[in-house]
């Protein structure tokens, strides 16, 4: 067992990597991957910090992490469906090409 | 650290080593006679046409999508099933409501023929 | 005999402590011993599974099966291994070389992990954690992305399609498999595989009205998950050459083969644990022998399927999972709930009748609907819908 | 000691895979790296005694979401080829933002005193009870969310065009 700090630092670095990817990648799926990294970091934080509480409240941290995972599933479904749809009409999945409303 | 967790980690590491050795070994043991014809993709002897890495059917995505939704449903079923006997009728009904809502999604997928392979 | 393996392990650990291994490292040693035992046992089981399957299918088809290498062909699997080792490692020129190496290396890993969570005998679960059953399903599902990668890496049409099909199949059958196990978890009140065995005692779950249904659903799903006949169309040689492992030769192919067989035996072991009372049985036999015997019988049923049944089409396969097994597994779960509530209320007659009635009616409705769908699917359709 | 080694290995695997996922020019490799990273996170859950969560992470995140992404990559046209330019013009800004955010969090964590406590590891039963009582409304709402996501994704991804 390690201190909560160690896990929280790992989570912070993971989140930073995710932020970098979400800003810098061009392909929509790659951006989605980066967002998944950020969500995973958030779930990791919930679990690590829940350890500071007695079991009664520690459940909340874990239940929140489960909800994060479930919501991430819903988000991925719709996001990838959008990517398919855009890919079909524009023949590309690069985000800067999605500029039809930029007039 | 509790022993079961240690077992999972140690065993996982051993399995990875097993697989890596298995996949690396033929490089050093087997014969090596590379050839241009040999290294073409196998298509029953016919010259290959088209690129397999071009888009495949979105149909596969539908199944993965429906799977993910009901996978999440199954994940919520497990903690409920563990306390099912303590939760009584009320807990049973709460889960039936949850299942009922998702059954609507299943019905929609069936109606729109997303469960079919064409 | 009963405690052979447990005593052996604890005496080895005592020996290590006597030799002066620091106490902090003893848990690691214990973990290593369990892990190494399973690591050695699983491939041996797999080798004799192939031998057994070839012998039995040989008998089904009125031939001898392997009988040249050693008595009864017992050394045949070893000869096969040596032969696989001597083959050239072919990598297609256009392939993604890294993934072509990684996919076979990784495909065995989740399959190996499955053996950690089944009770090999009384007190013989390698990783006895509260959520063992869930871990089993999780690792079974990890196969899918590796198979897609394996099919994708060599850049071959057939293997890409085979990989996608195999993954779609593994995913689709994973859901009814997990849900039919939920009924067992409800009855046992635990996700730990040893607790599930103990909850059954001599009243195996397969002997209850819901249990019989759940067992059939579970077993069909398991056969599909491990891509065995009649669900082996990812490898349908008449349409897809050899599916996702078309472009792998020698030991790399052997690794895929191994993952498949080990997976099927692990699944038999889990089915035994969930429905057939695990290691419980006559007292004079050691518990691990009973467990292996029961799992072996289930594997024989799988071989029997292979010797008997023709292959399903992909549309039938996916339809069976989503339109038949999935709703039926949910109904089974509800029936188990009713069964429990009626029994605790003391209405024993109703406890048998209601769940059975519900199950029978939904089975009948679903099979009628399925048959109509199949009949419609066999006719050429006039207009292809956009779906 | 074994605990420290395991922690180190898992952290290196997680962060290395995360970097690979963000930097790889080949999308399928990116998706696989994401899978390894999530596997590492599941390992971190396991090491903290959150067994159920670790299993859920494997079951839904690695075995579900990552698979979905791998599928999507395999189905998108030309996605298997390495991308010509995988990063946009914002790279310096992105590095700055990512690094600044990480530094901020790490410094903040370093300076705050976190009380050491034995890990409280709630079991599956506690989670189930919490779901059916305290978190009943979010739990039922989640089924509606999943229903909406399923219907929406099926409608959006549906092929309305003429090509087959």
Determine which helix (DSSP H) or strand (DSSP E) holds D131, and give its type and residue range: helix D124-132
Whether C381 has a pLDDT exceeding 60, the answer reads: no
Q: Which residue has the tokens 């370093």?
A: D110
Check whether D89 has a pLDDT greater than 80.
no
Does residue C182 lie in a domain region? yes
| CA distance linking residue A40 with residue D17, whole number of Å | 13
The reported pLDDT for the residue numbered B40 is 72
C-alpha C206/C-alpha A48 separation (Å) is: 41
Give the separation between CA C369 and CA B25, rounded to whole angstroms.
Answer: 52
Arithmetic mean of pLDDT, A59-85? 90
The beta-carbon neighbor of B58 closest among D6, D52, D75 is: D75
Q: Using 50, 70 and 90 to split pLDDT, how confident is the model at C281?
A: confident
* Nearest-CB residue to B102 (from D75, D80, D143): D143
pLDDT over threshold 90, residue D148: yes
> Residues D40-51: pLDDT tens digits?
999 999 888 888
Is B69 in contact with A80 (Cβ distance < 8 A)?
Answer: no
The residue of chain C nearest to residue B84, with distances taken between CA atoms, is C186
Q: Please tell me the predicted confidence (pLDDT) of residue C152.
A: 84
- Interface contact D150-B65, CB threshold 8 A: yes
Is C123 a domain residue?
yes
CB-based contact A81 D45, cutoff 8 Å: no
Q: DSSP letter for D65, please.
A: I
Contact (CB<8Å) B81/C186: yes
For the residues of B10-70, what is the DSSP string, one character each? Answer: HHHHHHHHHHHHHHHHHHHHS-----TTTTS--STTSPP-S-TTS---THHHHHHHHHHHH
Q: What share of chain C is helix, strand, coil (3-state, %, to 5)?
A: 75, 0, 25
What pLDDT, on the 0 to 100 scale, is given for residue C383? 45
Closest approach of B86 to chain C, Cα-based (Å): 9
Nearest residue of D to residue C172, measured between CA atoms? D64
The pLDDT value given to residue D117? 61
Contact C195, C158 (CB under 8 A): no
Q: How far is CA B33 from CA B30, C219, D13, in A?
A: 10, 45, 36
Backbone angles phi, psi at A25, to 5 degrees: -80, 150
Please indicate whether residue C85 or residue C238 has the higher confidence score (pLDDT): C85
Instruction: Provide, as residue numbers in chain B, all residues whose Cβ is less than 8 Å from the Cβ of A76.
Output: 68
What's the rounded mean pLDDT across residues C322-337?
A: 90
Name the D residues in 42-101 with CB < 8 Å from any B CB.
43, 46-47, 49, 52, 56, 59-60, 63-65, 67-68, 71-72, 74-81
What is the dotted CATH code of the domain comprising B56-118?
1.20.58.1610
Q: Which residues pair with C336 in a beta bridge?
A: none
* C81 inside domain: no
**Residues in chain C within 8 Å Cβ distance of D123:** 130
Indicate whether C387 pLDDT > 50.
Answer: no
Q: Domains (ranges, CATH) in chain A?
A: 4-97 (1.10.287.3510)
Q: Do D157 and B58 touch (CB under 8 A)?
A: yes
Residue of higher predicted confidence among B32 and C102: C102
Burial call B5-15: b when 16+ CB within 10 Å, e when fewer: bbbbbbbbebb
User: Does residue C95 have a pLDDT over 80?
Assistant: no
Interface of A with B in 45-64 (CB under 8 A): none
Rounded Cα distance, B87 and D129, in Å: 8
Q: Are the beta carbons of D75 and D28 closer than 8 angstroms?
A: no
pLDDT in tens, B74-97: 989 999 999 988 888 888 998 999
Whether residue C114 contacts residue C41, with contact meaning beta carbons closer than 8 Å, is answered with: no
pLDDT at C379 over 60: no
Report which of residues C85 and A100 the model is more confident about: C85
Q: At what angle do helices C26-60 and C4-18 cross, to 10 degrees?
A: 150
Rounded to whole angstroms, the Cα distance separating C118 from C279 reads 10
In the predicted model, what is the mean pLDDT of residues C206-211? Answer: 86
Cα pseudo-dihedral B76, C141, C293, B18, rounded to 10 = -140
Cβ D75–B69 below 8 Å, yes or no?
Answer: no
Q: Helix, strand, coil: what percent of chain A each, to 5?
A: 80, 5, 15
Based on its alpha-carbon atoms, the radius of gyration of chain B, rounded to whole angstroms, reads 25
- pLDDT grade for C13, boundaries at 50, 70 and 90: confident
Tokens for C276, please give them. 């057939």
In a domain, C359, yes or no: yes
Average pLDDT, stretch D7-18? 92
pLDDT 10s digits, C57-82: 888 888 888 888 888 888 888 888 88
List A27's β-bridge partners, or say none.
A94
Q: Which of C89, C156, C246 sits opposite B26 (nearest CB)?
A: C89
- ipTM attached to this prediction: 0.90
Kindly determine whether residue B97 and residue D140, on different chains, have CB atoms separated by under 8 Å: yes
Task: Establish if B82 touches chain D: CB-CB under 8 angstroms.
Answer: yes
Which residue out of D38, D63, D69, D164 would a mutagenesis test of the C interface target, given it has the greatest number of C Cβ atoms within 10 Å?
Answer: D63
Q: Residue D163's pLDDT is what? A: 44
Q: Does B69 reach chain A within 8 Å, measured CB to CB?
A: yes
- For the beta carbon of residue C257, count every other beta carbon within 10 angstroms: 17
Q: Which residues contact B74 (CB under 8 A, 6 or more apart)?
A: C175, C178, C179, C182, D59
Task: Give the side-chain half-sphere CA count within 13 A for A93.
Answer: 28
D 3-42 → A contacts, CB under 8 A: 3, 7, 11, 14-15, 18-19, 21-22, 27, 30-31, 34, 37-38, 41
Are A81 and B65 in contact (CB < 8 Å)? yes
Residues sharing a CB contact under 8 Å with residue C365, sequence separation 6 or more, in sequence order: none
Query: Residue C56 corresponds to which tokens in the numbers above?
Result: 């039995």
The two tokens of residue D90 are 């914002």
Query: D87: which strand partners?
Result: A25
Question: Angle formed by the axes of helices B3-29 and C97-114, to 10°?
Answer: 140
CA distance A82 to A91: 13
Residue C231: which of C211, C260, C251 has the closest Cα? C260
Q: How far is D71 from chain A (nearest CA, A)?
A: 10
- Is the CB of residue C96 less than 8 Å away from at least one CB of chain D? yes
State yes or no: pLDDT of D131 exceeds 70: yes
d(C-alpha D47, C-alpha C143), whole Å: 23
Residue numbers of the domain that contains C276: 89-373
Question: Above 60 in pLDDT, residue C384?
Answer: no
Q: Would you kindly state where each structural domain of chain B is located, as residue ranges? A: 56-118
* A67–chain B nearest CA distance, Å: 10
Q: Which pLDDT belongs to residue B113?
A: 78
CB contact under 8 A, B61 and A84: yes
Q: Which of C173, C193, C332, C185 is nearest to C272 (CA)?
A: C193
SS3 breakdown of chain D: % helix, strand, coil, rounded to 5? Answer: 75, 0, 25
> For the residues C333-337, what does the mean pLDDT come to?
89
Q: How many domains does chain C have?
A: 1
Give the tens place of pLDDT for each residue, C137-146. Answer: 999 988 888 9
State how far the Cα of C78 lies from the Cα of D79, in Å rounded to an integer: 41
Q: Is the pLDDT of residue C380 over 80?
A: no
C-alpha distances out from residue C312 to B117, C13, C54, C241, C374, Å: 13, 51, 22, 16, 11
Averaged confidence pLDDT in chain A: 85
How does residue C382 score in pLDDT terms, banded at 50, 70 and 90? very low
For residue D1, which residues of chain C lie inside 8 Å, CB to CB? Answer: 24-25
Q: Write the burial class of residue D118 (CB in 10 Å: 0-12 exposed, 13-18 middle, 19+ buried).
A: exposed
The SS3 of residue C95 is: coil
**Helix C348-378 to helix C326-344 angle, to the nearest 10 degrees?**
170
Residue with tokens 């890409």: C160
């Amino acid at each position: 067992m390690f201190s909560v700090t160690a896990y929280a630092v790992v989570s912070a670095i993971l989140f930073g990597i995710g932020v970098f990817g979400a800003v810098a990648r061009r392909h929509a799926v790659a951006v989605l991957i980066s967002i998944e990294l950020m969500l995973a970091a958030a779930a990791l934080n919930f679990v690590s910090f829940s350890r500071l509480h007695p079991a009664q409240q520690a459940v909340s941290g874990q239940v929140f992490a489960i909800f994060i995972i479930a919501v991430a599933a819903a988000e991925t479904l719709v996001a990838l469906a959008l990517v398919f749809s855009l890919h079909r009409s524009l023949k590309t999945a690069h985000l800067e090409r999605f500029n039809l409303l930029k007039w | 650290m509790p022993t079961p967790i240690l077992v999972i980690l140690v065993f996982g590491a051993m399995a990875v080593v097993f697989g890596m050795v298995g996949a690396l070994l033929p490089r050093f043991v087997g014969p090596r006679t590379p050839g241009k014809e040999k290294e073409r993709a196998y298509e029953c002897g016919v010259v290959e046409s088209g690129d397999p890495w071009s888009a495949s059917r979105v149909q596969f995505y539908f199944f993965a999508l429906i799977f993910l939704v009901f996978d999440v449903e199954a994940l919520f079923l497990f903690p409920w099933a563990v306390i099912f006997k303590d939760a009584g009728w009320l807990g049973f009904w709460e889960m039936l409501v949850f299942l009922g809502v998702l059954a609507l999604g299943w019905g929609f997928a069936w109606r729109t023929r997303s469960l079919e392979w064409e | 005999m009963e405690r052979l393996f447990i005593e052996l392990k604890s005496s080895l650990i005592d020996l290590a402590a006597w030799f002066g291994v620091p106490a902090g490292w003893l848990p690691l040693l214990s973990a290593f011993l369990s892990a190494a035992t399973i690591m050695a046992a699983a491939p041996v089981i797999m080798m004799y599974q192939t031998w057994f399957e070839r012998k039995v299918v040989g008998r089904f088809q009125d031939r001898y099966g392997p009988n040249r290498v050693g008595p009864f062909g017992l050394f045949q699997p070893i000869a096969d291994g040596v032969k696989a080792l001597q083959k050239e490692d072919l990598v297609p020129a256009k392939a993604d070389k890294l993934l072509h190496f990684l996919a076979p290396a990784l495909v065995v890993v989740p399959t190996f992990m499955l053996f950690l969570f089944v009770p090999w005998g009384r007190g013989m679960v390698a990783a006895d954690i509260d959520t063992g059953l869930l871990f089993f399903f999780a690792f079974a599902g990890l196969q899918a992305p590796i198979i897609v990668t394996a099919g994708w890496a060599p850049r071959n049409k057939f293997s890409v399609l085979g990989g996608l099909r195999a993954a779609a199949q593994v995913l689709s059958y994973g859901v009814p498999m997990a849900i039919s196990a939920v009924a067992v978890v409800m009855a046992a009140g635990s996700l730990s595989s040893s607790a599930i065995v103990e909850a059954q005692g001599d009243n195996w779950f397969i002997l209850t009205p819901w249990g019989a249904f759940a067992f059939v659903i579970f077993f069909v799903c398991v056969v599909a998950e491990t891509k065995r006949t009649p669900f082996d169309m990812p490898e349908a040689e008449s349409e897809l050459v050899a599916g996702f492992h078309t472009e792998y030769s020698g030991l790399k192919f052997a690794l895929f083969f191994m993952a498949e067989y080990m997976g099927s035996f692990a699944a038999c072991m889990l089915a035994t644990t969930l429905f057939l009372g695990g290691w419980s049985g006559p007292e004079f036999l050691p518990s691990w022998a009973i467990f292996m015997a029961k799992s072996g019988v289930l594997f024989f049923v799988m071989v029997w399927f292979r010797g008997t049944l023709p292959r399903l089409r992909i549309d039938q396969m996916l339809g069976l999972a989503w339109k038949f097994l999935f709703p039926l597994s949910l109904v089974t779960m509800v029936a188990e709930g009713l069964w429990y509530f009626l029994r605790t209320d003391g209405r024993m007659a109703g406890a048998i009748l209601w769940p059975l009635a519900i199950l029978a009616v939904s089975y009948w409705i679903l099979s009628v609907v399925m048959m109509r769908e199949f009949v419609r699917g066999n006719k050429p359709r006039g207009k292809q819908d956009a779906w | 000691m074994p605990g420290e080694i395991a922690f180190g290995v898992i952290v290196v695997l997680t962060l290395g895979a995360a970097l690979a996922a963000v930097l790889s020019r080949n999308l399928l490799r990116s998706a696989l790296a994401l899978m390894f990273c999530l596997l590492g996170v599941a390992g971190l859950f396991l090491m903290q005694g959150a067994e159920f969560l670790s299993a859920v992470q494997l079951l839904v995140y690695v075995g579900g979401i990552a698979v979905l992404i791998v599928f999507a990559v395999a189905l998108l046209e030309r996605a298997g080829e390495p991308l010509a330019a995988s990063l946009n013009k914002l790279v310096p800004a992105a590095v700055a933002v990512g690094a600044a955010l990480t530094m901020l969090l790490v410094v903040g964590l370093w300076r705050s005193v976190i009380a050491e406590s034995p890990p409280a590891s709630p079991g599956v039963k506690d989670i189930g009870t919490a779901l059916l009582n305290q978190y009943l409304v979010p739990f039922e709402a989640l089924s509606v969310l999943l229903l909406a996501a399923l219907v929406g994704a099926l409608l959006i991804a549906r092929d309305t065009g003429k090509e087959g």
